[in-house]
Chains A and B, each alone.
Chain A
Amino acid sequence: MSSGNNNAGTGSFLSGILRNQIFIPIAALLILAVFNFIVDPSFFKITLGHNSNGDPVLSGQLISIIDYGSELAILAIGMTLVTAASRGQDISVGAVIAISGSVVLRVLCGTNSRPDELQAPIIVAFLISCLVAMAFGAFNGALVSIFKIQPMVATLILFTAGRSIAAWINNNELPVVNDETFTYFGSYIPGIPIPTPFFIAIACFIITWLALKFTNLGLYVQSVGINEKTSRLNGLNPALIKFVTYIILGLCVAVAGFIKVSRLSTINYSVVAKDIEMDAILAVALGGNSLSGGKFNISASILGAYVIQFLTTTLYKFQVQSDALPAYKAVVVIALVILSAPVVREKITAAFRKLRSSANAESQS
């Protein structure tokens, strides 16, 4: 009898995990990790070396993943909130990254596109770019919340116009910053061998986590996403909450844009963060969040973002032929998305339940 109880315990534990949102990105991560481990265990090798400035840095594929995946993780935070509240996605994030990145450089460089020294402190440039990105977020938010335009259509405006605006900010020039401290945010702070973008992503996650824990933001966002009318009847202002999520996304975009310009100390507005909006939406989907709004799980989205980077790095590592790269990615994405579809997950849970009951029957007999 006791063994039967045990079985039931593990069974419900398993199905609990399966029903948990975070299961999907973790499973995807495990599959990728196991695949890499079998094919080439050196994938997981991490070595401590020095960069050309003589500062200690860790290097290895895993470090590259947490490094380059960080912007996507930060974007995934904002995108999850926007998706949950407004039942749609913002496709202008890549273009707004170009804008906010251009603003950073514009403030740092002043009128000269190649200054010898910075024209303003870095923190000022960052704060101004935050304000600008939040303003563009507010523009998107206003179209969605007040004018009730479909999010994808509303953000299509900045998607098409954004990169031209970015070009205009710097008079079509490509400014270059020659300042060592500016590069810290996209690479390493001297003496700390872990890439800075990862710390920034963790900081963003902690801030969001605290905000969701100590305010009602999460609850409000979910209720607006699940049913706008009832939340209004319960005294919420759905328009305001949607608007706020777009501004939060704007802030995330500014942080991501800041890391992007810091990486190379310059910006090419026509290609920077190209197609990142699709990856950000995919991160939300991989996190098991419904793309039609409602309940959400930020941690799962962030994990989803790193899974996407894991996949990208894996494909680079195995030297997949250039022109075939998108096709491979598509196949993996299809597999992951199908795996994460509620129908499939229910089937899997049902299969586990069957297994459990048959095990129960065996132990009883």
Chain B
Amino acid sequence: MKMKKILVMAASMIMCGAMFAGCGTTETSDSGSNSKSESKSSSSDLIKVGIINNDPNESGYRTANVNDLKATFTKENGYDASFAYSLKNEEQINYAQKFIQDEVDYLLLSAADTAGWDSVLKDAQAAGVRVILFDRTIDADESLYEASIVSDMDKEGEQAVDWLKTQNLETYDIIHLQGVMGSAAQKGRSGALNDTAKELKWNIVAQQTAEWNAEKAQQIVQSVIDSEKKFNVIYAENDDMAKGAVAALDRANISHGVGKDVVVIGFDCNKWALEELKAGNWNYDGQCNPFQSSYIVDIIDKLEKGEKLDNKTVVMEEKGFDAKTITDDDVSRYGI
């Protein structure tokens, strides 16, 4: 009987351990405690930042984002940085409270959810911690944070649709593959296409969500092909879905890319996607800029000098690449 109890205990401990590992918190608590002990010994002229981000495994975009921040906020560059990752809002708020207690100078935040941040940001303000939002916005009063660095998803969509307009195709029969419904990227990128399609009477052959998933995109496009509907544009709201769509086109022997039957549009500028673009298999890829650290450093420098920021909301510059004009340099510099 005792044996059984011990076994159950052991099992539940394994479970708890595995769960925490799953949430990616172990690394955080390690680095958190490390930085605490280090910061006591290190000189005080380092700027102390606490960075709260979403899980780096969430997507290629996030991985690039995390790597960019890690490469910038180093000891060599004069920062003492601690990182915390979670996809859950409550956990992120806990980390924020911990960072405030650790007396960081700056709190950099990419919030998992827009709601629930008021009280913790008020605590930060009271403790003299300056907050900079990046990538995601939150529903809180503007006075509670110094700056917000965002991608303009609407603009990303508009850029792509404007490019599509300039192609002057004889007809526009579009398959529209949407991301997870309700996400900011989906809303922005769908919105631009919907508006223009209505305005210019473009024909949307199919409009469905493939939930950022290549394989679902492949099935949706396959289904359109099987129903023998005509189309000449694929507007996929990320690279994965564009890849899935292209797989379906290849299977049905429909040519795609520069000067071919079907125009392929993707988003996010993954490196492999830009390579496809360079090879002329796709036509256009819109950037969603994950390299926010230079903007953040800029703002911190200004704040350290006591300058005032012109604008609380900083919209990042984002490019769109055309297969005809993309260079090898673009591929290596902007590919994520």
Contact residues in A for B206 (Cβ distance below 8 Å): 319
Known pairs A161-B18, A268-B214; A59 contacts B250 (CB<8 A) = no
CA–CA, A320 and B209, complex, Å: 10
Known pairs A49-B252, A51-B251, A61-B226; A271 contacts B22 (CB<8 A) = no
Contact A187 B251 (CB under 8 A): yes
Contact residues in A for B249 (Cβ distance below 8 Å): 52
Q: Quick one: CB contact mask for B21-59 with A, threshold 8 Å, 1 for yes?
A: 111100000000000000000000000000000011111
Contact residues in B for A61 (Cβ distance below 8 Å): 223, 226-227
Name which residue of chain B comes closest to A166, CB basis. B57
Q: Report the minimal beta-carbon distance from B182 to chain A, rounded to whole angstroms.
A: 8
**Contact of A174 (CB < 8 Å), options: B58, B60, B178:** B60
CA–CA, A172 and B27, complex, Å: 15
Contact A264 B218 (CB under 8 A): yes
A122-161, CB < 8 A from B:
143, 146-147, 149, 153-154, 157-158, 160-161
Answer yes or no: A60 CB below 8 A from chain B CBs. Answer: yes
CA–CA, A272 and B59, complex, Å: 12
Answer yes or no: B287 CB below 8 A from chain A CBs. Answer: no
A300-354, CB < 8 A from B:
312-313, 316-317, 319-320, 322-323, 325
Q: Quick one: CB contact mask for A36-78 with B, threshold 8 Å, 1 for yes?
A: 0000001000000111100001011100100010000000000
B199-224, CB < 8 A from A:
206-209, 211-215, 218-220, 222-223
Answer yes or no: A260 CB below 8 A from chain B CBs. Answer: yes
Contact A59 B252 (CB under 8 A): yes
CA–CA, A164 and B87, complex, Å: 12
Contact A317 B212 (CB under 8 A): no
Contact A272 B253 (CB under 8 A): no
Contact residues in B for A268 (Cβ distance below 8 Å): 60, 213-214, 240
Contact residues in B for A176 (Cβ distance below 8 Å): 272
Known pairs A50-B253, A323-B209; A42 contacts B219 (CB<8 A) = no
**Contact of B223 (CB < 8 Å), options: A154, A266, A316:** A316
Contact B57 A167 (CB under 8 A): yes
A-B interface pairs (CB < 8 A), number? 130
Contact A51 B253 (CB under 8 A): yes
Answer yes or no: A263 CB below 8 A from chain B CBs. Answer: yes
Contact B219 A272 (CB under 8 A): no
Q: Report the minimal beta-carbon distance from B197 to chain A, rounded to whole angstroms.
A: 15
Contact B251 A59 (CB under 8 A): yes
Stretch in B7-15, B164-172, B321-329 with 4+ CB within 8 Å of A: B7-15
Q: Quick one: CB contact mask for B46-90 with A, threshold 8 Å, 1 for yes?
A: 000000000111111001000000000000000000000000000
CA–CA, A322 and B253, complex, Å: 27
Answer yes or no: A163 CB below 8 A from chain B CBs. Answer: yes
CA–CA, A114 and B215, complex, Å: 21
Q: Report the minimal beta-carbon distance from A232 to chain B, rounded to whole angstroms.
A: 16
Contact residues in A for B55 (Cβ distance below 8 Å): 164
Q: Report the minimal beta-carbon distance from A259 to chain B, rounded to whole angstroms.
A: 10
Query: How many residues of chain A are within 8 Å of chain B by beta carbon?
Result: 51
The size class of the interface chain B forms with chain A is 35 or more
- Contact residues of B: prevailing secondary structure: helix
CA–CA, A136 and B240, complex, Å: 27
Answer yes or no: B19 CB below 8 A from chain A CBs. Answer: yes
CA–CA, A268 and B243, complex, Å: 11
Known pairs A57-B251, A59-B251, A160-B22; A64 contacts B215 (CB<8 A) = no
Contact B252 A271 (CB under 8 A): no
Q: Report the minimal beta-carbon distance from A140 to chain B, rounded to whole angstroms.
A: 11
Q: Quick one: CB contact mask for A12-46 with B, threshold 8 Å, 1 for yes?
A: 00000000000000000000000000000010000
Answer yes or no: A274 CB below 8 A from chain B CBs. Answer: yes
Contact residues in A for B56 (Cβ distance below 8 Å): 167, 172
Contact B208 A319 (CB under 8 A): yes
Contact B22 A161 (CB under 8 A): yes
Contact B272 A114 (CB under 8 A): yes
Contact A322 B215 (CB under 8 A): no
Contact B209 A164 (CB under 8 A): no
Known pairs A61-B223, A147-B8, A161-B19; A325 contacts B208 (CB<8 A) = yes
Q: Report the minimal beta-carbon distance from B240 to chain A, rounded to whole angstroms.
A: 5
Contact A325 B209 (CB under 8 A): yes
Contact residues in A for B286 (Cβ distance below 8 Å): none
Answer yes or no: A269 CB below 8 A from chain B CBs. Answer: yes
Contact A157 B22 (CB under 8 A): yes
Answer yes or no: B290 CB below 8 A from chain A CBs. Answer: no
**Contact of A172 (CB < 8 Å), options: B11, B63, B244:** B63
Answer yes or no: B181 CB below 8 A from chain A CBs. Answer: yes
Q: Report the minimal beta-carbon distance from B123 to chain A, rounded to whole angstroms.
A: 30
Answer yes or no: A6 CB below 8 A from chain B CBs. Answer: no
Answer yes or no: A10 CB below 8 A from chain B CBs. Answer: no
A250-276, CB < 8 A from B:
260, 263-264, 266, 268-272, 274
CA–CA, A61 and B252, complex, Å: 13
Interface centre among A52, A187, A263, A271 (most CB of B within 10 A): A271
CA–CA, A51 and B222, complex, Å: 13
Known pairs A160-B19, A161-B19, A164-B21; A271 contacts B181 (CB<8 A) = no
Answer yes or no: B307 CB below 8 A from chain A CBs. Answer: no
Interface centre among A57, A60, A114, A322 (most CB of B within 10 A): A322
Contact B250 A51 (CB under 8 A): yes
Q: Report the minimal beta-carbon distance from B336 to chain A, rounded to whole angstroms.
A: 10
Contact A263 B21 (CB under 8 A): no
Q: Report the minimal beta-carbon distance from A11 to chain B, rounded to whole angstroms.
A: 41
Q: Report the minimal beta-carbon distance from A150 to chain B, rounded to whole angstroms.
A: 11
Interface residues in chain A, defined as those with a beta carbon under 8 Å from any beta carbon in chain B: 42, 49-52, 57, 59-61, 64, 68, 114, 143, 146-147, 149, 153-154, 157-158, 160-164, 167, 172-174, 176, 187-188, 260, 263-264, 266, 268-272, 274, 312-313, 316-317, 319-320, 322-323, 325
Excluding A147-B10, A269-B57, A322-B181, 10 further A-B contacts by CB distance (< 8 Å) are: A59-B252, A64-B222, A154-B15, A160-B23, A163-B57, A187-B247, A263-B215, A264-B243, A270-B59, A272-B215
Interface residues in chain B, defined as those with a beta carbon under 8 Å from any beta carbon in chain A: 7-8, 10-11, 14-15, 18-19, 21-24, 55-60, 63, 178, 181, 206-209, 211-215, 218-220, 222-223, 225-228, 240, 243-244, 247, 249-255, 270, 272
A-B contact pairs, 14 of them (CB 8 A): A49-B252, A51-B252, A64-B219, A143-B15, A154-B15, A157-B15, A160-B18, A161-B19, A164-B57, A172-B57, A172-B63, A174-B60, A264-B243, A316-B208
